[in-house]
Amino acid sequence: MRDLAPVLMVQGTASSVGKSVLVTALCRIFKQDGIDVAPFKAQNMSNNADVTPDGLEIGRAQSEQAAAAGVTPSVEMNPVLLKPQADHESQLVLNGKPAGVLRSSEFVERKRDLWPHVERALTRLRSQYELIVAEGAGSPAEPNLRAGDIVNMRVARHAGATVLLAGDIDRGGVFAHLLGTLELLEPEDRPLVRGFLINRFRGDRRLLDPALVEIEERTGVPVLGVVPWIRDLAIAEEDAVALERGGGAGSGETAIDVAVIHHPRIANFDEFAALGREPGVGVRYVESASALGSPDLIVLPGTKATIADLAVLRERGLDAAIVERARLGCVVLGVCGGFQMLGTSIVDEMGVEAKPGTRVQGLGLLPVETRFEAAKETRRVSGSIVAGQGPFAGASGLRVEGYEIHMGQSEGDCAPLLEIEGRPSGAVSADGQISGAYVHGLLENDVLRQALLGALGRPGPGGVAPREAAFDQLADVVRAHVDVERVKALVFGASD
């Protein structure tokens, strides 16, 4: 029987310190060095999800990390996914399938029951690969969360992992964060931390030298890398916290203005990142009617709570503003929950999102009605564009790929946007200016994106760096600033 692979684990001093990106980089580095590597995160809390080839749902970050490692994403890489759908409650996706709702009041008790699933998934991965690069969640040093931990030090202890503790210097206080985190760990856990990583540094590294020496002397833990701030990082973000670091993306002078509606429970927003990296395209995330302006394209993205977020849209006056812009000729695209909002009505007879029997009015921009169903549709899809009018007409016949994650079906008397497996899918208004689909990732298809931007009036060619090139670029930066050979020695043992 094959020995279980060692585990290298990246934990953080807080949420959003860059753990996901560092794991992505390490997966790529080890792949480049000929090591059969796979990512792992026991529990993810995010509405950014992806679908594995066998139709199971995992966190988007783990899917991205698998791609960087050059392996097929599998549900073992993220056995527990929590998708926030309201304050204090999340949908539990266990081993890739919906498994009820997890409320904050029962968080600690229920999470104890999830540990066997985590243990089995990690053991299976360790039996299939030469190295596992695991990611923690939040901080491992929260005393109130310790009893229900299934993602940080419990994983590290179980696997005998080599832990690298990462901190974000850009937010300030990184040395206090590193020292404080280490001090708050249980005494038996501290020796598992074998190195520090300082992330998102701007400036002359030599200015850090005195602090690096002091933190090593105080803790006995070496600083194994100081990773610089990486601009225009073409890697999927783990969750919507990333949107708080900036309102949009763009490359140089903006010729095309894209407004993405920032729902409170926005999902899979990263699928529009390729738009923001296109030359001459600016992408803004909009939360109010006053901020909408007069964009060339309005995107209503997915959401984990369509009915609740539609109500917020109305509270903020964005519903009327979107309808007004549409009537003035603005192109509008709805994806998944955003597609549902564009229709005439949403019916929830079974109480999937609201009280049973709930019916709400949509924006009325597409003649479709959505009915929620208890069964969740999760699958990877491929098909072709069939729109005959509007900005997508120039892409008619183009092959596209993507994935679906939804709990409703939308039907109406209108032309389809797509044909998938020989069946019509999505919807397009009579003039082609309004369209919607359940397929995530449409605008990550390069040729389709170019056709859309051309129809919106962008002069000249565009294009973004291929995904593989983005992974290599990230790996090059991290390799140049992290002592990878020393990390290998910690994980595999010193070589002769």
Residues 179-214 pLDDT 10s: 999 999 999 999 999 999 999 999 888 899 999 999
Classify domain 245-455 at the CATH class level. Answer: alpha beta
| Residue listed under structure tokens 């206080």 | 173
Contact 426/436 with Cβ under 8 angstroms? Answer: yes
Which portions of the chain are predicted below pLDDT 50?
Answer: 1, 246-252, 495-496
Q: Is 330 a catalytic residue?
A: no
Q: Is 84 helix (H, G, I), strand (E, B) or coil?
A: strand
Q: Is 392 helix (H, G, I), strand (E, B) or coil?
A: coil
Q: Can you list the pairs that 370-375 forms with residues at least 24 positions away whose Cβ atoms lie under 8 Å?
A: 370/306, 370/340, 370/343, 370/345, 370/346, 370/408, 370/409, 370/410, 371/346, 371/347, 371/408, 371/409, 371/410, 372/346, 372/347, 372/348, 372/407, 372/408, 373/407, 373/408, 373/409, 374/350, 374/407, 375/407
Catalytic residue among 336, 406, 414, 481: 336
Q: Is 336 a catalytic residue?
A: yes
List Cβ neighbours of 213 (8 Å cut-off, separation of 6 or more).
none
Q: What was the pLDDT predicted at 104? A: 78
Q: What was the pLDDT predicted at 247? A: 42
Q: What angle do CA 14, 18, 21 make, to 5 degrees?
A: 145
Q: Where are the domains of the chain?
A: 7-233+471-492, 245-455
Closest CA to 236 of 412, 23, 455, 55: 23
What is d(CA 384, CA 430) in angstroms, rounded to the nearest whole number?
19
CATH architecture of 7-233+471-492: 3-Layer(aba) Sandwich (3.40)
What is d(CA 212, CA 19) in angstroms, rounded to the nearest whole number?
20
Residue 72 backbone dihedrals phi, psi, to 5 degrees: -75, 130
Closest CA to 287 of 341, 334, 243, 234: 243
For residue 43, how far is the Cα from the chain centroid? 14
The answer to whether 7-233+471-492 and 245-455 have equal CATH topology is yes
What is d(CA 420, CA 434) in angstroms, rounded to the nearest whole number?
19
Q: What was the pLDDT predicted at 249? A: 47
Question: How many residues are there in the chain?
Answer: 496
Q: In 60-106, where does DSSP find H-type helix? A: 60-69
**From start to end of 203-306, where are the E strands?**
223-228, 248-261, 266-267, 279-286, 297-300, 302-303
Q: Is 250 helix (H, G, I), strand (E, B) or coil?
A: strand
Q: Token pair of 105, please?
A: 């009041």
What is d(CA 397, CA 419) in angstroms, rounded to the nearest whole number?
9
CA dihedral for 84, 86, 87, 92, sign (positive or negative): negative
For residue 153, how far is the Cα from the chain centroid? 23
List Cβ neighbours of 384 (8 Å cut-off, separation of 6 or more).
397, 398, 399, 400, 418, 419
Q: What was the pLDDT predicted at 241? A: 55
Catalytic residue among 117, 177, 440, 481: 440
Sheet holding 80-86, edge to edge: 43-45, 80-86, 89-94, 97-103
- Residue pLDDT, tens place only, 338-395: 999 999 999 999 999 999 999 999 999 999 999 999 899 999 999 999 998 899 999 9
Q: What was the pLDDT predicted at 234? A: 63
